Amino acid sequence: DSGVTQTPKHLITATGQRVTLRCSPRSGDLSVYWYQQSLDQGLQFLIQYYNGEERAKGNILERFSAQQFPDLHSELNLSSLELGDSALYFCASSVSGTNTDTQYFGPGTRLTVL
């Protein structure tokens, strides 16, 4: 158990809908990362937050947005969902969000868009 929690574990929804994925980092970690894992794209970095502020952006679509709250939990919002958004979404956390940090991954949220 990494100490990172993600809810829900599974999510099934329809095209065009909007969903919110939630992540609670390990106690003491200030940085949160979001990743998408799909069969065709592999594991892709989406976005990183540190203590409430966006720090780095990867291949995140404009239909997707995220934020980190004062209690350090984070939410990833996916809107206007398409079939291709079906994937495993991982959250990870680290102490300070630097290049040398170890990232601890949550178990993931499996999103299925029908």
Partner 1 sequence: AQSVTQPDIHITVSEGASLELRCNYSYGATPYLFWYVQSPGQGLQLLLKYFSGDTLVQGIKGFEAEFKRSQSSFNLRKPSVHWSDAAEYFCAVGTGGGFKTIFGAGTRLFVKA
Query: Which residues sit at the interface with partner 1, rule CB under 8 A?
Result: 2, 4, 33, 42-45, 48, 55-56, 58, 90, 92, 97-108
**C-beta of 59 vs 80, nearer to partner 1:** 59
Q: How far is the CB of 101 from partner 1 (least distance, A)?
A: 7
**C-beta of 46 vs 72, nearer to partner 1:** 46
**C-beta of 78 vs 94, nearer to partner 1:** 94
Q: How far is the CB of 71 from partner 1 (least distance, A)?
A: 21
Quote the Cα angle for 89-71-79, to 5°: 35
Please report, for residues 32, 47, 81, the alpha-carbon distance to residue 94 in angstroms, rounded to integers and kept in the order given: 7, 13, 29
**Contacts for 9 with CB less than 8 Å, ≥ 6 apart:** 107, 108, 109, 110
**C-beta of 23 vs 72, nearer to partner 1:** 23
Q: How many whole angstroms separate alpha carbon 45 and alpha carbon 70?
A: 23
Q: How many whole angstroms separate alpha carbon 106 and alpha carbon 26?
A: 9
Q: How far is the CB of 19 from partner 1 (least distance, A)?
A: 19
- The conformation of residue 40, written as its DSSP 8-state character, comes to T
Q: How far is the CB of 15 from partner 1 (least distance, A)?
A: 26
